[in-house]
Every structure is written in C-alpha cells, then in structure tokens.
Amino acid sequence: MPYQSGNIAIRGRLLWFAADPAVESEAAAVKYLEDGVVLIKDGVIAEVGEGPALSRRLPAGVPLVDHRPHLVMPGFIDPHLHMPQTQVIASYGAELMEWLQKYTFPEEMRYGDSAVAEAAARFLFDTLAANGTTTAGVYCTSHQISAEVFFHEAERRNLRMVAGKVMMDRNAPPGLLDTPETGYEQSKELIAAWHGRGRLEYAITPRFAPTSTEAQLEATASLAREFPDLHIQTHLSENAAEIAYVAAAFPWSKDYTDVYERYGLVRPKALFGHCIHLSERERAALAEKGATAVFCPTSNLFLGSGLYDLTASRRAGLKTGIATDIGGGTSYSMLTTAAEGYKVLALKGQKLPAFEAFHMMTVGNALAMGLADKIGSLEAGMEADLVILDSRATEPLRRRMERVETLEEELFALMILGDERTTVATYAAGRRIYDRYMARSTLAPKLDQMPYKTVDSGGASQQ
C-alpha cells in the first residue's frame, strides 16, 4: 500500500531560511517563529503562521501535532550518496582508487539480484528518515534492476528522490560493466518509466571519467542533449591519483573539468561530487554554466582525499552543496556531516557558522540540486517534507543548552553534538515516516504515552 499525502497541522518552533546567511543579514535570511503552526493539505504546505492564532482556526478534522518545544525545519537534503555502499561504509585503510577496487566494486556486483537491491533500498530509506533526510541524490549500480528497485520503493513511500543507474564501461570487474549502447538504452528506459512519476526524478549518471570510455561519454552526451532538464551526477577532482589518470586517459583535455565540458555535462542541475582539487579555471567554468560542486567532508577525511575550499568556490560564484557520500562518507547524519564540514573548513582557515550550515542542509542543498521550487522551505506551496529536532536529546546536549543564550548558539551545539538521536520525527509530503518513540519499540506506544499530543480541530485525541 503506497504512502499517501497528508492533511495535518504541525506545531513547534519553526525555522527556515529566506536567503543565504552567508550573503544576507540574519534578519533577512533567518525565519523563526517561537510558536508556529504549519498547515499541510494534500502533502503541500498551505499556510504557516503563529501557533495560537492558526491552531484556533484549523479546518475541521485536521489533526494538530504539537511538537513543542522542538524545532520544526524543512527536511534535510543529501545531494550525493551511493545506495550499494551501505555495507561498504567503514571499510579499512585505502585511498579512493584502491577503495573502489577492494571494497566497492565487489559489493556492487551483488546488485544484479533484486532481493539484494530491495533490502538495501529499504534500509537506506529507513535510515535516512531516522536522520531527518527526506531527499537525496542517489547512485544505484550499473544494473538496471538496482535503479528500478530504488524507484519503486521511493514511490511507495512518496519521497522526493533523484537517482540514476551508474554508467561505466571500463576499469571495473566485467560483471559491473555496461557498454555505450546498453548504458544509453537502459538509462532511456528508466527515464521513460520513472522520471516525473510521483515525486521521482532521474539523474543521468556516468560514474566518473576513469570508468567511462570516450564512446560512453559520447552516449552520455546524447542523453544530455535529449533530456536537457534532467539532473546529471558524477564525480570530479576527488583524489590525486584519479586526476592523474584522467590527464593520461584524455590527453586532449585542459583539465579534469574539461572532459565533462566537452561532452555537454556541465550545466544547471549537474552535480559534481567532491571538487577538491579544482583550478580557478575549473571553478569559473562550473559556475558560468550553472553546475554544482558537492562538498563531502566525512568521505574526504576518511579516504584522505583533501580539504574542500568553500571560500574559493564562493569567490567564483560556484554553487556548493554538502553531502554524506555514503559509503566513503562515515555518517548518514547531515548534522554530523556539517560538523565535519566545519572542521575541514577550519583547517583551511575558513568558517561555517550555524545559520550557514543549516541553510546548506535545507534550502541551500535544494538550490544546489535545482529543487528549490519544491522543497527546502516552510513557505506556502512547498512540498511538506519536515524534520523535528530535539536540541536536548542527549545528556551532553542538555548540559550544553544550560548555557546557550541565542538560537544560533543552540544550532551550533546541535550541529556539533547532534546525530540521529536528535530526530524526533520526519515527515514526507505531510505523512510521518519516522518517529523515534515508535522506532524504539516493536509495538507502537499508545497516544497517551507519547511526549507530544495530537488533537483534531474539535479537540478530540487522534491516532
């Protein structure tokens, strides 16, 4: 039975962003209601207002879930992760190219089996929901069935997801290789079947230049021309050995980015994972064509790849998202990811203030993915994907909050000390897809055992 869109009202401390705090003042960028209500109709935000007033005039029969004193925010958005790497995460001691050969490719070989892909998709969606993540940019494997299974499960849960079948025709085990022709044909079949179906979008997904011949990149270019509005996702400039390989394999190229430029893959809604070792020319080219760099701090640290330069990207006008990159990345939590991003930038002599970090995790990543007209905000007309956060979820957080005096201080402590334990509930299209109190028991607790209440507009208790 598919999940349906919800009609519901949610009350709590509402927080979202109307502009980038790195560019605009706090007053212009940060939207905060100490006691607010989000009214949701058919999975879309219908109205946002002050809690006392809006709660008194809710439509008859609409349940009101009171999450006070918790924070209510747009759901987190993760623009770069790999579904088949949920059992590769935390594999010991290798840099990127060895890590792929030793751990990742052998694991991905299993995903021609639909049962393996189904189990991974269920685990991934459950885990993302537990971490407050409602949208992701996802790499499946080169097996067409892996993408079909992913989309089927995402549709069942009514999630806003972007994903694609990986295309690669060299430098991997034979069981993982497609060809320029099959990669093109299977991608077109998946686009026809799934793109625009429900809340799903397809991403043209060449893994990266080292695993695609020029013939396959030509086929990818054909897809890009035929589907100019689709996302493109791939990797760029993550590791020194990778960059050296690209220079040797494509001797005509000015640099790594030039390979993707030649095949028309640098454009709006093109998501380039990592982008650590870019030249000024490359940043300028990506920015000029409206592409996005995706900062993956836990992965870059774990694999020893390097430190992302946010200041240089901003100076070039290059959009930057922030992502977990599971399973090179080491946490499904966007809070933990942002905390590690703060440390990476500190090593570069740069800063990531709390408001900027939470902007990146929500509407900033929506902008980076070209989805800001749909998700990332609590404005009327947006899809109702929400996360409820408890900034006193653990003893260390509770103790820290005793000294917190401002919202920004609270958010910074939540980012540095928080993880999935801070997620109270997660909503997708107005339907609750995760609840930490229910998740702790094999039997859902009774309403009167819940730490928050649900009432309808007439005041009667609701399940």
The pLDDT tens digits of the residues spanning 211-263 come to: 999 999 999 999 999 999 999 999 999 999 999 999 999 999 999 999 999 99
The rounded mean pLDDT for the chain is 94
3-state secondary structure of 41: strand
The pLDDT tens digits of the residues spanning 47-74 come to: 999 999 999 999 999 999 999 999 999 9
Residue 20 structure tokens: 């980038």
Contacts of 176 (CB under 8 A, 6+ apart): 105, 108, 109, 141, 142, 168
Query: What secondary structure letter does DSSP report for 360?
Result: I
Distances from the Cα of 194 to the Cαs of 147, 160, 200, in angstroms? 10, 12, 7
Q: What is the spatial distance between Cα 135 and Cα 180, in angstroms, rounded to a whole number?
A: 29
Q: What is the spatial distance between Cα 63 and Cα 6, in angstroms, rounded to a whole number?
A: 10
The residue type at 441: S
Parallel, antiparallel or unpaired: strands 431-435 and 423-428: antiparallel
Q: What is the spatial distance between Cα 14 and Cα 404, in angstroms, rounded to a whole number?
A: 18
The pLDDT tens digits of the residues spanning 333-356 come to: 999 999 999 999 999 999 999 999
Asked if 349 and 389 touch (Cβ cutoff 8 Å), the reply is: no
Stated as kind and residue range, the H or E segment containing 302 is helix 297-302
Stated as kind and residue range, the H or E segment containing 243 is helix 240-249
Supply the angle between the helices 114-130 and 144-156 in degrees, to the nearest 10.
Answer: 40
Write out the chain's pLDDT in tens, 463 residues: 345 567 999 999 999 999 999 999 999 999 999 999 999 999 999 999 999 999 999 999 999 999 999 999 999 999 999 999 999 999 998 788 888 889 999 999 999 999 999 999 999 999 999 999 999 999 999 999 999 999 999 999 999 999 999 999 999 999 999 999 999 999 999 999 999 999 999 999 999 999 999 999 999 999 999 999 999 999 999 999 999 999 999 999 999 999 999 999 999 999 999 999 999 999 999 999 999 999 999 999 999 999 999 999 999 999 999 999 999 999 999 999 999 999 999 999 999 999 999 999 999 999 999 999 999 999 999 999 999 999 999 999 999 999 999 999 999 999 999 999 999 999 999 999 999 988 654 333 443 345 666 665 544 333 3
Residue from 436, 432, 431 nearest 418 by CA = 436
C-alpha dihedral over 446, 451, 455, 460, to 10 degrees? 50
Residue from 126, 191, 177, 118 nearest 152 by CA = 118
3-state secondary structure of 378: coil
Asked if 81 and 37 touch (Cβ cutoff 8 Å), the reply is: no
Query: What secondary structure letter does DSSP report for 329?
Result: B
What are the residues facing 120 on neighbouring strands? none
Asked if 49 and 64 touch (Cβ cutoff 8 Å), the reply is: no
What share of residues in the chain are helix, strand, coil (percent, to 5)?
Answer: 40, 25, 35
Asked if 333 and 289 touch (Cβ cutoff 8 Å), the reply is: no
Q: Where are the alpha helices (DSSP H) in 317-462?
A: 334-347, 354-359, 365-368, 395-401, 407-417, 436-439
Tokens 């925010």 correspond to 73
Tokens 């006392």 correspond to 52
Q: What is the pLDDT of residue 96?
A: 82
Q: What is the spatial distance between Cα 157 and Cα 434, in angstroms, rounded to a whole number?
A: 11
